[in-house]
Chains A and B, each alone.
Chain A
Amino acid sequence: MELNSHIPSGPLAEKWDKHKAELKLVNPANKRKFSVIVVGTGLAGASAAATLAELGYQVTAVTYHDSPRRAHSIAAQGGINAAKNYQNDGDSVWRLFYDTIKGGDFRAREANVHRLAQVSVNIIDQCVAQGVPFAREYGGTLSNRSFGGAQVSRTFYARGQTGQQLLLGAYQALSRQIGLGKVKMLNKKEMMDVVVVDGRARGVVIRDLVDGSIETLMGDAVILATGGYGNTFYLSTNAKACNVTAAYRAYKRGAAFANPCFTQIHPTCIPQSGDYQSKLTLMSESLRNDGRIWVPKKQGDTRAPGDIPENERDYYLERKYPSFGNLSPRDIASRAAKEACDDGRGVGPGGKGVYLDFSDAIRRLGQPVIEDRYGNLFEMYERITGENPYEVPMRIYPAVHYTMGGLWVDYNLMSNIPGLFVLGEANFSDHGANRLGASALMQGLADGYFVIPYTIGGYFAKGGLTPVSADAPEARAAVEETTTKVQQLLGINGKRTANSFHRELGKIMWDKCGMARNAKGLNEALQEIPALREEFWQNLTVPGTGAQLNQSLEHASRVADFMEFAELMVRDALHREESCGGHFREEYQTEDGEAKRNDADFTYVAAWEYTGAGSAPTLHKEPLVFENVELATRSYK
């Protein structure tokens, strides 16, 4: 396997412009001769599909949702970053670039991150032009707020529904192209495999979720914008249907999977309330602007929060990280919460929670101001927990939120399979070992609106694509394999549901490959996961048939892939003998419990190659070269 990042030469700030100038173009009349399959219509996929259709390509878009507007991107609350410097507070493309590289603990490519910071400003302009109702100041200008890990105010937002408004913007642009007949939109179809012909991605296998039919779609390039794999852990803030199938099946066809163990645990989520819990709910990071996080100083203190006097409280983030305090980056805040709970000082049922307390802010600013800022979130909290956060502090606990790892891509966002491009959360490209708040929306839209429209043209202009049909042996074989797999799942006739297996897998992952990891636990997971997988294939029950809407079957098929993929995550976590960003190996920490990076040995992207069922994957290393920033210890003290 050859991994060439294709980073353009030249000074960092000029690479993207130079690259765009050097890319060969496809002339307008020829564009309609090329067909592109876009799998996934979240922010990344919808923006790509719309833009490519505007340029004249023939686009087919696929989603398992009943409408593109339902993609997981819809749930993003807080905002989107851009280096506009409207606040005149010292922001710049360079600073956004630097914050992102540092926030990612120096495990991302400089060139990609710099391009992201550069196009961030265009995203805001584009979204405004589409009619996205961003928050405004009284004078009519765009409003900003702050997010963790940054000391400038560069986050644009639309109430607590930024993801919704950005996705609707992209969805509307896509709808326009569908209405014009330029995009063929396939809803309720799940991609099950990539078809590779002569070493290039030339199609996908899709299963119709309503009638169960399985067929191939052929094209000249395939774009995967299929989101992240946080649901490997079962409980996460992701939408229920988020899964790894598209990326994992591409991996099994030869695409390298990069840094699978880099997972983000978000510090402020509503704690689990019982075994029936189906997902976890995020409380936006913006709450940490005014909320103070604390636990009792004494272990096992069961007094009501109001009965614990000030001097018996530990505001541990303010104590440990005085300069960023409650706005410390996510990985750091999450670990600190875990530490406090492991120390027996957690609050609420099972001691799995810490307080996020607004009483100071309410005293200082008055309840109406807090209502205005966070009313929606407080309401949501009360709806879920039955507690009124204006009166008692919120209880929060970290939860799996985002996955920085993903399919390996080069500077053009192309995987190592020519013609297979990967955008948005599904790729590994920009966030290193930890993502900063409000940067995922930025990346998804950067990829879809401003990067892929150029780089895919470069791929087509190189030529060499010969016609292929759905009758190609590779296409037929892929359909055959998918059909067999579906039949297998339906034919086990065991006793346990996919959900119960998924829950058990999630528990193994959370306990052994979660917020803190160590070799012993990871090695245990490497025993437990295959054993659970074996039971899955012997004792699964999937009621119903494959010829109608069957949600149990959909879930079982996704869990089957999580079962294999989880092992890859664990392997990656075990091999990376350092702590960086969201990957905290207990063996590698400083005396005061901070992450200890090992730049000498691990400044690389770990890209894994599939080598067949039952055989260990091969590790390939893409060295990360830092020419513009100095690798510093990441400190928020």
Chain B
Amino acid sequence: MNLRLHIWRQSGPTDTGMMKTYDLADVSEHMSFLEMLDVLNEQLSERGEEPVAFEHDCREGICGSCGMVINGRPHGPLPRTTACQLHMRTFKDGDEIYIEPWRARAFPVVRDLVVDRSSFDRIIQSGGFVSVNTGNAQDGNTLPISKKDADYAMDAAACIGCGACVAACPNSSAMLFTSAKIGHLGALPQGQAERYDRAENMVLTMDAEGFGACTNHYECEAACPKGISADFIARMNRDFVMAGLLNR
């Protein structure tokens, strides 16, 4: 198939950036979306032009590196699918495809489609863990955890930290990301001791990083390639309120 691509080009953080148009011929429907970009980049390089910078690594939908807005939707048109797992059979001959970086104040553009997501790391650093040193932990089976709780924790823990939730939200809120970690650890007995402090510290860091508030659009849930439920946000809000009561 032949495609017309409109891609955001920005040479560095201080450049203003613009959309540029590229025609790409003979795209196979079996290619992944990123392989299609590889082909474009090979052609650009051979012509002496600079290839489009984009993050990627595992290409299996698990590392959370690849992140781009495709035709206005984070990771493109398919539900629960990262850009690297999207295949060209989803598109048809003659399509025009618009490709842009995540846009959020807390994710400054580094180059082209690459953004700086270190704000996510800082949210985790402020409380997204169980404070236990390496050493003589008790035997794993002395702490029974019901299958239901383990599954629920796993649903939240499946977050890949890609940032699609932020990119999808009209307020650029990081609530889904933050609540997924708070939900994962808060659902397990290991996470109880720090449960409310964790919620408070992570939420405050999230605000300080410049992410917006949640006004219940549920775009995050729709965009999440791992299908993480916005119910975790409600749970986080409860924990946050509890923290305020307990720490007063």
Contact = CB atoms under 8 A, between A and B. Distances in A.
B50 to A, nearest CB: 5
B134 A69 contact: no
A141 B141 CA distance: 6
B30 A134 contact: no
A497 B141 contact: no
Contacts of A142: 140-141
Interface residues of A, number: 80
B171 interface: no
A178 B38 CA distance: 35
A276 B37 CA distance: 10
B58 A543 contact: no
B45 A552 contact: yes
B229 interface: no
Contacts of A292: none
A209 B226 CA distance: 29
Contacts of B126: 179
Contact of B87 (A47, A384, A544): A384
Contact of A552 (B51, B144, B157): B51
Interface stretch (B112-120, B206-214, B215-223, B232-240): B112-120
B51 A278 contact: no
B4 interface: no
B95 to A, nearest CB: 18
B16 interface: no
B185 interface: yes
A474 B72 CA distance: 52
A239 B132 contact: no
Contacts of B38: 276, 278, 499
B87 A276 contact: no
A551 B138 contact: no
A30 interface: no
B23 interface: no
B115 to A, nearest CB: 9
A70 B63 contact: yes
B131 interface: yes
A555 to B, nearest CB: 10
A452 to B, nearest CB: 11
A67 B121 contact: yes
Contacts of B89: 386
Contact of A161 (B31, B110, B158): B158
A158 B145 CA distance: 14
Contact of B30 (A86, A138, A185, A386): A386
A442 to B, nearest CB: 14
Given A131-B130, A281-B60, A544-B50, A66 B143 contact: no
Interface string B179-198: 00000110010110000000
Interface string A156-181: 00110100110010011101101100
Given A159-B154, A383-B81, A136 B146 contact: yes
B191 A449 contact: no
B134 A453 contact: yes
Given A70-B65, A274-B30, A126 B141 contact: no
Contacts of A386: 29-30, 87, 89
Contacts of B30: 273-274, 385-386
B28 A543 contact: no
A130 interface: yes
A176 B132 CA distance: 10
B76 interface: no
Contacts of B136: 122, 125
A129 B134 CA distance: 9
A500 B41 CA distance: 12
A278 B34 contact: yes
Contact of B111 (A158, A179, A274, A549): A549
A507 interface: no
B53 interface: yes
Interface string B148-161: 00100110011011
A142 B140 CA distance: 8
Given A383-B87, A549-B53, A133 B35 contact: no
A624 B30 CA distance: 48
Contacts of A68: 121
B57 interface: yes
A173 B134 contact: yes
A197 interface: no
Contacts of A210: 110
Interface in A72-118: 72, 74-75, 84, 86
A495 interface: yes
B64 A70 contact: yes
B42 interface: yes
A541 interface: yes
Contacts of A384: 32, 85, 87
Contacts of A592: none
A549 B114 contact: yes
B190 A129 contact: yes
Contact of B185 (A67, A86, A131, A383): A131
B134 A47 contact: yes
Contact of A130 (B64, B129, B160): B129
A241 interface: yes
B145 A130 contact: no
B94 interface: no
Nearest to B127: A179
B6 interface: no
Interface in A343-386: 380, 383-386
Given A70-B63, A543-B49, A136 B35 contact: no
18 contacts: A54-B134, A65-B57, A66-B65, A66-B116, A125-B136, A125-B137, A126-B137, A127-B140, A158-B154, A165-B157, A175-B129, A240-B57, A240-B59, A281-B60, A380-B85, A497-B46, A499-B38, A543-B50
Q: What 5 A-B pairs are tightest by C-beta distance, nearest first?
A: A140-B144, A179-B125, A172-B129, A129-B137, A128-B140
